[in-house]
Amino acid sequence: MDTKLAMHTKNLNFFYGDFQALFDVSLDFGANEVTALIGPSGCGKSTLLRCLNRMNDLIPETRSEGEIYFRDQPIHGQEVDPVEVRRQVGMVFQKPNPFPKTIYENIAWGARINGYRGDMDELVETSLKKCALWDEVKEKLKQNALGLSGGQQQRLCIARTIAVEPDVILMDEPTSALDPISTAKIEDLITELRKRYTIIIVTHNMQQAGRVSEKTAFFLNGVIIEAGLTSDIFFNPKEERTEAYISGRFG
């Protein structure tokens, strides 16, 4: 293994009631890499993403088998608190969902509840700067975050996630609700954030996966069909189905 692992799963099975959504998923996520999860709708890629920070615990009547490791520590153990997992493995959602509070409070709230002791103004400023949002909002930190455009809201959500200093950021189709210009900004941001964080991104946009990720995993019906370097997946797929999906013949 050439890179250090941020997270990996081993024979992960996941069930919504009687419906099995993931079958024996074993996948490695290298530290400081961007991994893209692709596949048609309903193939289980979002489910996997939500397993990685135990978000699925919140849905009743779900269960999982197998192991998920965060830096070689299992995150499903009895002694592991999902709250701690979610702080270290942050999440950005498909639809921008800032809190209906001020821009400042959106960043400060997560830090405050996690017991941040530093200078809050500074944290807000650096978090917004890392997301290239500072110049756009520095005059209106006390205004409601819902007044921002969709793209700005999504960058604010990323800023709020990195303010609690996670190691891994999960992104669930973060640009599917945004226009091309906002999408480009988010993609630039992902490239920038890669230096510091491990990013796992679910996307329906093949070009996006190609642009931002080093590794790609292709899912079909809850099974990993193929995983590896993005360049290999896109240009030398071993599987017929991978090639068919990427070239747009189905999905």
Touching another protein, residues 54-83 (CB under 8 A)? 55, 58, 60-61, 83
Stretch that binds another protein, among 36-44, 108-116, 129-137, 178-186 (CB under 8 A): 108-116
Pair 201, 36: CB distance under 8 Å: yes
* Nearer CB in complex with another protein: 91/233: 91
DSSP character string of the chain: --S-EEEEEEEEEEEETTEEEEEEEEEEEETT-EEEEE-STTSSHHHHHHHHTTGGGGSTTEEEEEEEEETTEESSSTT--HHHHHHHEEEE-SS----SSBHHHHHHHHHHHTT--S-HHHHHHHHHHHTT-HHHHGGGTTSBGGGS-HHHHHHHHHHHHHTT--SEEEEESTTTTS-HHHHHHHHHHHHHHTTTSEEEEE-S-HHHHHHH-SEEEEEETTEEEEEEEHHHHHHS-SSHHHHHHHTTS--
* Nearer CB in complex with another protein: 74/100: 100
Q: How far is the CB of 90 from another protein (least distance, A)?
A: 6
If one asks whether residue 149 binds another protein (CB under 8 A), the answer comes out as no
If one asks whether residue 95 binds another protein (CB under 8 A), the answer comes out as yes
| Residue choice 15, 16, 99, 116 for contact with another protein (CB under 8 A) | 99
Q: How far is the CB of 115 from another protein (least distance, A)?
A: 10
Stretch that binds another protein, among 98-106, 178-186, 208-216, 233-241 (CB under 8 A): 98-106
Total number of residues binding another protein (CB under 8 A)? 29
If one asks whether residue 154 binds another protein (CB under 8 A), the answer comes out as no
* Nearer CB in complex with another protein: 38/52: 52
Show the site string, 219-238: x = touches another protein by CB under 8 A, - = not.
Answer: --------------------
CA 235 to chain CA centroid, Å, is 24
Q: Order across the sheet with 5-16: list the strands.
A: 19-30, 5-16, 62-70, 73-74
| Residue choice 13, 144, 176, 205 for contact with another protein (CB under 8 A) | 144
If one asks whether residue 97 binds another protein (CB under 8 A), the answer comes out as yes
- Which residues are at the interface with another protein (CB under 8 A)? 53, 55, 58, 60-61, 83-84, 86-87, 90-91, 93, 95, 97-100, 109-110, 113-114, 143-144, 146-147, 157, 160-161, 164
